[in-house]
Structure 1
């Protein structure tokens, strides 16, 4: 990593978020090395194009990536980045709770997961640590990872066919789960993921079976970490 600056790409479709991040990261009070926003992207494919244009690790130390991106979502982009530029760290940003999404991101190769409401000092600390080759885990993320390890052990010892929870969802099932809990219909999800409605319905049925939820309302409660009554 360059000692002169930490070069960052911000991938987020909300301008107000990008402007806020640039203000936080570019504050001179953050000290040296300076954090420089080298590029911005508003969609998943644009993130990949920008990274390629900058030469991957030759032009960047870090990608700050939102999960809820239009087109390719953040998890798809993360997967593509890890394949094309495995040495380029990715710090995921989200409004989703650590309990459901941090584990998936870390498992897919993210170097950290940070909620968008994080304190600016924590944001800067996360960027510096990840850009230097480390991992940034908040207490909530660490607890989520520990819980996932524990649940994995329970699932392996449980009878076959018992609900296994969100951790047991496949990559595509997790995509559908996220969109369902965001309030999208089967038709809308199919259009976004380029899947037939019947296929989305099949994924939805598998998600309900694996999580033990009875309907979309209970899935939404699960995503927020609120138990269903």
Structure 2
């Protein structure tokens, strides 16, 4: 995709007040709800929907998108991986994260990965629409409930989840999603025993004694949906 064309297209649509939004979320009911909300604003047009990382990237290659409204975790990616992939392939395309997690650590990580905005799913319709226009116009927008926490210096000791390697996080997210060890191994191109080793290491690092405890811990700390 021509990057200069990307810049001109986003600028033109922003100045014209019409924003073409791609909704990327793996839950059909969420996509339906977001579609109805965005349709309330005549200055926003739906550019399509995606239910996985691969669908999102494939749709973006077709062009005609001015902003990605992105769930933080999608099938086929881990943590902020999809944000990084979108930004790398389409550096001028704004990504606005919409997630259920109001954790400033997660928000900071998403913004550092290249997202230009971060919202939680309990935000009002009015603020969601405002955020879409602000981010599409090249500005940043963070959920008001998180803004103060994000500008404070990070003086606290990192949580255990923050200290996991990229591969450990990848395995952890797959486990939280209920994936079988053999399927995770096939996706990562490693032996099932290797995935089992990762699982044991994760349980040790996070201080959990069983897979169910590991999953519950991860969900509480923002590694789900």
Q: 2:54 aligns with which of 23, 45, 50?
A: 45
- Aligned pairs (5 A) from 1:114-153: 114-142=119-147, 145=150, 149-151=154-156
Please give the per-residue CA displacement for 1:89-125, whole angstroms capped at 9, x wherever unaligned: 1112223443563233222111122222322112112
Partner of 1:104: 109
Matches of 2:101 and 2:177, distance apart in 1: 10
Larger mean Cα displacement after TM superposition, 97-106 or 11-20: 97-106
Pairs within 5 Å for 1:25-36? 25-28=38-41, 34-36=43-45
Judged with a 3 Å threshold, the aligned counterparts in structure 2 of structure 1 residues 122 and 179 are, in CA distance, closer, same or farther, namely farther
Query: What's the offset of the Cα at 1:13?
Result: 2.7
Separation (CA, whole Å) in 1 of partners of 2:171 and 2:148: 25
The separation in 2 between residues aligned to 1:104 and 1:193, in whole angstroms, is 23
Shift of 1:64: 0.9
How many Å apart are 1:38 and its aligned residue?
1.5
- Hey, what does 1:204 align to over in structure 2? 199
Out of 23, 26, 31, the residue aligned to residue 36 of structure 2 is 23
Q: CA 1:185–1:97 in 2, change beyond 3 Å: closer, same or farther?
A: farther
Q: After superposition, what is the alpha-carbon deviation per residue over 1:204-228, rounded to whole angstroms, capped at 9, x for unaligned?
A: 34434544445441562354159xx
- Tell me by how many angstroms 1:25 deviates: 1.2
Q: How does 1:1-229 map to 2 (within 5 A)?
A: 1=11, 2=13, 3-4=15-16, 5-28=18-41, 34-54=43-63, 59-72=64-77, 75-99=80-104, 101-142=106-147, 145=150, 149-151=154-156, 154=157, 165-191=160-186, 193-216=188-211, 217=213, 220-221=216-217, 223-225=219-221
What TM-score results when the alignment is normalised by the length of structure 2?
0.75
With CA pairs under 8 Å and 6+ residues apart, which has the higher RCO, 1 or 2?
2
SS in structure 1 opposite 2:133?
helix
8 A Cα contact 1:44 1:74, kept in partner? no
Change over 3 Å in CA distance of 1:26–1:105 after alignment to 2? same
Q: Give a deviation string over 1:185-216, Cα, whole Å, max 9, x none.
A: 54454355554333323333443454444544
Unaligned segments of structure 1, at least 5 residues: 156-163
